[in-house]
Chain A
Amino acid sequence: AQKVTQAQTEISVVEKEDVTLDCVYETRDTTYYLFWYKQPPSGELVFLIRRNSFDEQNEISGRYSWNFQKSTSSFNFTITASQVVDSAVYFCALSEETAGNQFYFGTGTSLTVIP
């Protein structure tokens, strides 16, 4: 079974629209970490955020915000007032304490921001 599910394969939005990328995870561990990575067209993978399972506070960084809800096993990512430079593939990932340093990646969501 998929440990991390990103149901949205592709999303297109018009510039300045808000967009939310969904991430649902599955784990039996009580201690785990969730991550988001960005892969722009240039190909590199860029770390965006890490959140541990004991911290359900939402996080905001500029136009980016993350909503972590343990009750629904979700860690969603919202981009406010999207820009063309936000066009990329975004990956959500899970790392469990019992699995040591293993990371489980979702299949990614390709976001296209149309000018």
Chain B
Amino acid sequence: DSGVTQTPKHLITATGQRVTLRCSPRSGDLSVYWYQQSLDQGLQFLIQYYNGEERAKGNILERFSAQQFPDLHSELNLSSLELGDSALYFCASSPRWPGELFFGEGSRLTVL
């Protein structure tokens, strides 16, 4: 158990819909990262937050947004969903650099 909690674990929805994925980092970790892993693909970095502020942005679509709340949990919002958005979405947290990333179990999104 990494200490990072992601909900929901599985989600099935239709094209055009909007979903929210939630992440609770390990106790004490200020950084939260979101990654997307499509079938047979590597880890695509989406976005990073540090103590409530956006720190870095990767290949995140405009239809996607995220935030980190004062209690340090984070949410990734995916809207106008397309079939290609079906993927495993990982949240990870990290203590101050150069701590390693601790990953949650992922949220598997299926868009039909």
Task: Please list the residues of chain A having a beta carbon within 8 angstroms of any beta carbon in chain B.
Answer: 33, 35, 37, 43-47, 50, 52, 91, 93, 95, 97, 99-108
- In the bound complex, residues from chain B placing their C-beta under 8 Å from that of A100 are 50, 55-56, 97
Majority-rule SS of B interface residues: strand
With contact pairs A100-B55, A101-B48 given, residues A50 and B106 touching in the complex (Cβ less than 8 Å): no
CA–CA, A97 and B96, complex, Å: 12
With contact pairs A35-B100, A95-B98 given, residues A105 and B43 touching in the complex (Cβ less than 8 Å): yes
Contact A106 B97 (CB under 8 A): no
Q: Interface residues of B, CB < 8 Å — how many?
A: 25
Q: Is B94 an interface residue (CB 8 A)?
A: yes
Contact B43 A47 (CB under 8 A): no
* Chain B residue at minimum C-beta to C-beta distance from A47: B100
CA–CA, A108 and B45, complex, Å: 14
Task: Please list the residues of chain B having a beta carbon within 8 angstroms of any beta carbon in chain A.
Answer: 2, 31, 33, 41-43, 45, 48, 50, 55-56, 88, 90, 92, 94, 96-98, 100-103, 105-106, 108
CA–CA, A91 and B35, complex, Å: 14
